[in-house]
Every structure is written in C-alpha cells, then in structure tokens.
Amino acid sequence: MAREKWRSGLGFVLAAAGSAVGLGNLWGFAYRASQGGGAAFLLLYLLVVLVVCLPVLVAEMVLGRSTGSSALIAPEKAAGKNWSLMGWLFVIAPLGIGSYYAVLMGWTADTLLHSIFFGLPSDINEAEAFFGSISSGSSVLLGQLVSLFLTAVVVSAGVRGGIERLTKWCMPILFALLIILAIWAATLSGTWEGYRTFLLKWDSSQFFNPTNIRNAFTQAFFSLSLGIGIMISYASYLDRKNKLPKEAIGVASLDTAVGLLAGMITFPIVISFGLKEAVSESTVGALFISLPTGLGSLGFTGRIVAILFFSLAYIAAITSSISLLEVPVSSMMERLGWTRYKAVFVASSLLFLLGLPSALNLNILGKMDSVFGGVLLILGGFLLSIFLGWIVPSRFDQDLDGSNSNLRLRKYLKFMLRWVSPPVIAFGLIVSVIDLAKNWSS
C-alpha cells in the first residue's frame, strides 16, 4: 500500500502545530508558571526551546522523512537492529501520555458542558465540589471514553481525510478565540499584577531551583510534543521539498506564542479574583477550579468567556490527542500489517484501559504525567540528539540537502544538535530525575 502524503506543506505545519498546542499550553503552562519560578521559569523555558528543542525537533522530522517510517521502525531502519529499543520507547511513551490525556480531556469536556447548561460555580467551595464530581465516578469515565472515541474517529479517517482536515479548520478558530480572550483579559483590574506575579517577577535564585529547571525542560518538551516520535510519524508523510528547518521554527513559534497568550488569559483572571492560593495548591487548580470560580463572579460575561475558553481547550486537546494515537497506530500498521481501522480500535482500547488508574486516582495521574510526560520525553530528546548528531549524522545533511533550505540555519542546527543539545539535555534529565525522586520520597 502506498504511503499517504499530506495534501500541502501548510497542512503539515498546522497538523504539527495542532499536536504541539494542547492542554500542555493551557493547563501545563499555567500550573508550572505558577509554582514560583516567575520570569526565571519563563526565561529557562524559552532558552530550552530555542537552544535544545529546536534542533531536536528538526532531527525528529528528518528521521521521519528520510526513513518514511513510523516511529517504531524509523530508528532501526536508519541505524540497524541495535536501535530498535528506541523505537519501542516511541510507542510506549505516547500510549502512556495518551492514556491520561484522555482523562484530562474528559474533565475539559465536563467543565465546558457544565458552563453551557448549568452556569459557573459561585464560590471556590462550589468549584471544588464541582471539580470533585467531574474527576470521580462515572462522569470521568464517560468523558474519557467520549474523548477517545472522537480521537479515534479522526485518526481512522486517515492522515489527509482526518488529521489534516481537522487541524486545518481548528487551528485558525483556536487562534481567533485565544486572541479575543487575551484582549478581554487585558481589560481586567488585575491584569498587570497577574502578568507581573507569574510571568515577570524576577528572582535569580530561581535559576538554580531544581524544580524550576525540571518544570522548564518538561514544559518545553511536552508542549512541543517532542522526544517520542510524534514528529517522526507526521514527517514520514512528507515530501522532500518541504523546508524542515523553517517549518520547525513555525511550529515552535506558534506553540510558544500560544503558551504565552494562554498565560496572559489565565493569570489576570487569577489575580483579579484573588485566587492566587488556589492556583498553586494543586496541579489542577489553575484551570479547572480557579478559572471557573473567577469567571463565575462576572455573571453572564464570565459564562460566555468560560464557554469560549473551554471550547478552545477542547479543540486544542483533540488536535493533540490525535497525534498521540497516530504514533502507535502507524507503528502497528507498519509492523503488523494491520488496517488503519483495526490499529485504531486496538490502540484506543489500550489507551482506555491504561487510562483507568489515572481516571480513578488523581495521584496516579500526576505520577503518570511526571514520568511519561516528563522524564521519558527528555530521555527521548537526549537519544534523538545523539542519534542524529552522532550515530547517523549524514542523514541530517542528506535529507536537508534535497530541500535547499537556508544553509546558515542548517549549520547552526547541526552544530547545536551535536555539541549543545546532548550535554544540556543530559543535565536537564539528571536534575529532573533527582528532583522527582526527592519529591516522591518526601
């Protein structure tokens, strides 16, 4: 069977940006930025994106396009059987992330439906009670199931007919909503205080705070969908003529812009309605408790804003979850010769089962996120930088030669991939593992 291709280069960029822009930008960015890092968190995050992630992003794309293979097969196709373990990492990690991502999507859907049909909570206690009800019992399973089902429908329609078509429509809507909401948030009373407290407050000791460092690395990798083969799969459906470095810059800029804009929406709300404590208390606090509470005190306007915000979050989430499902699906199709339908059915059933523990226990969800959505991504990024920087470096040049992309940019990326990314990511990985172990044992 001939491999599918994206209809257009823009389609690929939007699909990749759709994968990148997700709950990580809205939920993850808000809660990580609110853990006290302030401007130091922001700066570290931006540095990690520019200095180490961008070259790795191009490396992932090169590996996908040059092998034309799914994430499971690409490493061994490029460098032999010894590297097949890396392929397995690229299948296991998206399954792990996808499992709890569907649970988060379910909460988002519940919050959206609740804002539409019943309105918002009137105080923080009511919001906590509401969150308690959506995050337990049958409603969490229903939300998870429906979200997986929608994801499965899109992925089974294929790369062009499903993924490309959905993201082409959703991404512009998402940007429009985001900009409208950011402008609205800029008119609140606590706007500047919100920006200052969470994004601009300067405390240089935070540069050396291990949790802050782990947060910056995790946020950068998670938000870019980097390190576990998403971009390998997506780029395997590409033509040689696409200028990958330029497209990678496009994806990274869109993703970072969305993270910042989302912060410019959530933080003014949090400060304007005096919800600072509630945000940093729990990982779910920022999005699912504080935001509805703050907006609840604004009456009708607040309800409209909540509906727009959670629609936006759901749209962002589904364009990401399809990428998480596509990786195991394309790998099963290629390795086992299954049809797309069969692979989608098996992979999404697996995601449902693997997600049950997270659905039933918040603590487990947090741990899954730290391991699959944190440490494994950073590990994957490290392996990729070694792989394309040192093991099969000629692939990088050969693949990019075909597309006559900017030579200076390529030289820069190659240099960073060989000399800068590996040690810096290794440092981030070690700090993250130690910090996580410390958190878990205390």
Stretch that binds ligand TRP, among 147-155, 163-171, 317-325, 338-346 (CB under 6 A): 317-325
Chosen residue from 13, 16, 23, 252 binding ligand TRP by CB under 6 A: 23
Closest CA to 248 of 48, 61, 8, 49: 61
State the Cα angle at 60 between 56 and 61, rounded to 5°.
Answer: 120
Sign of CA pseudo-dihedral 240, 242, 246, 251 = negative
Residues in Cβ contact with 64 at an 8 Å cutoff, skipping those fewer than 6 apart: 71, 74, 231, 232, 233, 234, 235, 236, 238
Helix-helix angle 84-117:376-386, to 10 degrees? 140
Shortest reach from residue 417's CB to ligand TRP, in Å:
19
Query: Which of 11, 24, 75, 381 touches ligand TRP (CB under 6 A)?
Result: 24
Stretch that binds ligand TRP, among 15-23, 67-75, 147-155, 191-199 (CB under 6 A): 15-23
Token pair 């996908």 is found at: 64
Q: Helix axis angle, 137-156 relative to 124-134, nearest 10°?
A: 60
Q: How many residues bind ligand TRP (CB under 6 A)?
A: 17
19, 115, 233, 330: which one binds ligand TRP (CB under 6 A)? 19
Q: How far is 424 from 413, CA to CA, in rounded Å?
A: 15
The structure tokens listed for 231 are 């971009």
**Quick one: 222 or 382, whose CB is closer to ligand TRP?**
222
Among 16, 17, 20, 120, binds ligand TRP (CB under 6 A): 20
Least distance between ligand TRP and beta carbon 323 (Å): 5
To ligand TRP, the closest distance from the beta carbon of 209 in angstroms equals 23
CB neighbour class for 243 (10 Å; exposed up to 12, middle 13-18, buried from 19): middle
| Span interacting with ligand TRP, options 1-9, 23-31, 128-136, 209-217, rule CB under 6 A | 23-31
Q: How many other CB atoms are there within 10 angstroms of residue 404's CB atom?
A: 9
DSSP 258-282: HHHHHHHHHHHHHHHTT-HHHHHH-
Report the residue from 25, 99, 147, 218 that binds ligand TRP according to the rule CB under 6 A.
Answer: 25
Q: Is 261 in the site for ligand TRP (CB under 6 A)?
A: no
DSSP 52: I
| Among the listed residues 56, 58, 78, 97, the single contact to ligand TRP using CB under 6 A | 97
Radius of gyration of the chain (CA): 21
Return the number of the residue (190 or 380) whose C-beta is nearest ligand TRP: 380
HSE of 169, CA atoms in CB hemisphere, 13 A = 8
Minimum CB distance to ligand TRP smaller for 25 or for 272: 25
User: Among residue numbers 338 through 397, which ones bind ligand TRP (CB under 6 A)?
Assistant: 377
**Is position 256 an interface residue for ligand TRP (rule: CB under 6 A)?**
no
Of 207-236, binders to ligand TRP (CB under 6 A) are 222-223, 225, 228, 230
The answer to whether 22 contacts ligand TRP (rule: CB under 6 A) is: yes
List residues near ligand TRP by CB under 6 A. 19-20, 22-25, 94, 97, 222-223, 225, 228, 230, 320, 323-324, 377
